[in-house]
Amino acid sequence: MKKFLIILLSSILLPVFWGCNREQYSGEPTVALVVKTLNNPFFMEMQRGAEDAAKELELNLVIQAAEREVDVEQQMQIIENLIQRKVDVIAVTPSGSRELIPVISRANQANIPVIIVDTRLDEKLLKSDGAQISTFIGSDNFEGGRLAGIYIGERLNGSGKVAILEGIPGHETGDSRRLGFLKGLEESPDIQIVTSQTANWERSLGYNVFENILQSYSDVQAVFAANDLMALGALEALSSNREAENEVIVVGFDAHEEAIEAIRNGAMAATIAQHPYEMGRMAVENASRILKGEEVPDEIPVQIELITKASLPDL
């Protein structure tokens, strides 16, 4: 019976572990990247970037994720285990802006530098807990919004009526995108913002809110949605609305797969692409710099890009 159990366990575990524990570059430091989940293309890209950078820099890289994106406690456990394992740097895309702060303190105590990627931590709580992070690497949402503003300004030749679909108010990401957009429009002073309303990041609300906007402002010429889901909702509202006489320019954010498709077939004008690959790459590169004792800035913006039909590669 005992034998049976041992054989069972070993036969399951041994082949799996074979090679998992082999450090590729023996003697070199190990960097850990803990993402929210690995069943999202965004984080898979990030993983690819990190792996490429690790290969170039000849660093050991461990990538881990919780089974469920919302399970911040499991993410915490993973980080605790990585502290036990004495990895040299931990990079994290936090599943919770506040919940991970205690474990970051523990990493500090173990003298393991922490890099935060993509999602910001709660600054106030971070400070009150005395936790330290080495740097934040993330998209510059403000810059993305600005690019969208410039694009719409150019498309409308400097004058026209524009609507904005906001994210949940008070959400750092959405606010930055909206403020950036307004900044980008400053170069076209004749453009008028007719309305700016929230659609809670949701597609169905994007549809409803934009349909209402079309009722009140049938002459609206362009709309900027703070994410692609709301932009896609707005597109659906447009296609079912007969009263909109002129073509409406729809610009979203995130380079969602469906949005790219809509841009390709001409329904949507543009979106802003983040570069998760770059995030992963920069996380590892900066980890390497920290290990060498070099200074890294408190915040490292990741390049962001406007995508239009013209910039898309042909299929």
Partner 1 sequence: MMQIQNIRQFGTFIGLLVLCLLFWILSPYFFTVSNLLNIAQQTSIIAIISVGMTFVIITAGIDLSIGSVLAFSGVVMASALHAGVPIPLSILVGFSVGYVSGTINGLLISYGKLPPFIATLGMMSIARGSALWYTNGRPISGFSDSFRFLATGDILFIPTSVWIMAIVYIIAHFVLTKTKLGRYTYAIGGNEKAAILSGINVNRYKNIIYGVSGLLGGLGAVILTARLNSAQPIAGVMYELDAIAATVIGGTSLMGGEGTIYGTLIGALIIGVLRNGLNLLGVPSFIQQIVIGAVIIGAILLDTQLKKQKE
Shortest separation between residue 169's beta carbon and partner 1, angstroms: 13
Point out which span in 1-9, 113-121, 148-156, 210-218 binds partner 1 (CB under 8 A).
1-9
CA distances from 128 to 102, 248, 270 (A): 11, 47, 41
Does residue 63 bind partner 1 (CB under 8 A)?
yes
The answer to whether residue 2 forms part of the interface with partner 1 (CB under 8 A) is: yes
In whole angstroms, the minimum distance from the beta carbon of 78 to partner 1 comes to 6
> At its nearest, how many Å lie between partner 1 and the CB of residue 20?
5
Q: Is 91 in the site for partner 1 (CB under 8 A)?
A: no
Is residue 71 within the footprint of partner 1 (CB under 8 A)? yes
Residue 59 is a binding residue for partner 1 (CB under 8 A): no
Q: Is 99 in the site for partner 1 (CB under 8 A)?
A: yes
Q: What is the CA radius of gyration of the chain?
A: 23
If phi > 0 it is left, if psi is from -120 to 50 it is alpha, else beta; for residue 121 that is beta
The Cα 124–Cα 264 span in angstroms is 43
230, two tokens: 């709301």
The phi, psi pair for 180, rounded to 5°, reads: -60, -40
Binding residue for partner 1, selected from 56, 58, 102, 257, defined by CB under 8 A: 102
List the end-to-end C-alpha distance of the chain, in Å, as a whole number: 59
Tokens coding 247: 């073509």
Binding to partner 1 by residue 55, rule CB under 8 A?
no
CB of 105 to partner 1, least distance (A): 9
Q: Which of 31, 57, 72, 230 binds partner 1 (CB under 8 A)?
A: 72
- Nearest CA-CA partner of 153 in 140, 166, 162: 162
- Which of 77, 157, 204, 212 is in the footprint of partner 1 by CB under 8 A? 77
